[in-house]
Structure 1
Amino acid sequence: MPTRRVPVLVYDGDCAFCTTSVNFLTRRVRPRCTVTPWQFADLHALGVPRGRAEHEVLWIPPVGPVHGGAQAFAKLLLSAGGGWAWLGGLLTLAPLRWVAHGVYRLVAANRSRLPGGSPACALPADRRPGGVRPTR
């Protein structure tokens, strides 16, 4: 199996808010990573359980620990360099790390109500329209 050279950002592709957010970030921030919805990712090869991918956005580096939620976004910002890296660095420091975690959980719990969100975002993955796409 070939070794990955860049990190992978894994997000919920069935969630319109998540997809809109990731598309915005990739256009404006330009992180140095591969971006893929968990529904199409080879989670086994990436070394993450499906339950974790369903629960939060993930930053999966070629080597080292997987970061989820707000810390995944911090790593995304760090990878972009420049001023974005400075902001990402701040989000890794206490107490901002704790605040970022709380904000991430609040947004995640209410993503169906946010711009770009849909009622499907509030449903568990196995109850969304069309059901869960199989993963490898």
Structure 2
Amino acid sequence: MPRPTLLFDGDCGFCTRSAEVARRVLPAGVAVTAWQFADLAALGTTAERAQREALWIGADGRVAGGATAVSRALRAAGGVWLLLGWLLAVPPVSWLAQVVYRVVAANRMRLPGGTPACAAPHRSPPSSAV
């Protein structure tokens, strides 16, 4: 059975810093990986999708993106994060979360930890990705 995985943009400083936080709060059994170094086909997704949004791949293989991915990762973290994750999953909060996620994603190069690479076109993943 595959383990849950959170994919993020390894070329983006803001995303990388967010992934560092995720590594601290998520259980040891969850992989937090830059999409550029993941076997996307084996995870059931594509580089095109991974370039657009953070992705959560559950143990069941289902892929969620954007605010839904954040919600599922928070629920997996447990504790107080679990409550926040469930809140983000309930309409109308979930609708607002999607809008906020898109605004943050579109402006990530302006956020703390963001770099010009956050706004640059992404490169294709290596063909021998792990």
What TM-score comes out, normalization by structure 2 length? Answer: 0.91
8 Å contact kept, 2:43–2:61: no
C-alpha distance in 2, partners of 1:125/1:39?
Answer: 9
The number of residue pairs the alignment matches comes to 127
Aligned to 1:107: 104
Which AA in structure 2 matches 1:114?
L
- Residue deviations 1:15-39 (CA, integer Å, cap 9, x gap): 0110011102322x23451111000
- Equivalent residue of 1:20, what SS? helix
Aligned to 2:65: 68
- Residue deviations 1:55-87 (CA, integer Å, cap 9, x gap): 100000121521101111100110011211111
Aligned to 2:26: 30
Query: CA RMSD of the aligned region, Å?
Result: 1.4
What TM-score comes out, normalization by structure 1 length? Answer: 0.87
Percent identical: 53
- Equivalent residue of 2:83, what SS? helix
Unaligned runs of 5+ in 1: 127-131
Aligned to 2:91: 94
The structure 1 segments of at least 4 consecutive aligned residues displaced by more than 3 Å after TM superposition are none
- Residue deviations 1:92-129 (CA, integer Å, cap 9, x gap): 00000011111110000000111100011101103xxx
1:134 and 2:126 are equivalent in the alignment: yes
Aligned to 1:129: none
C-alpha distance in 1, partners of 2:96/2:16?
Answer: 23
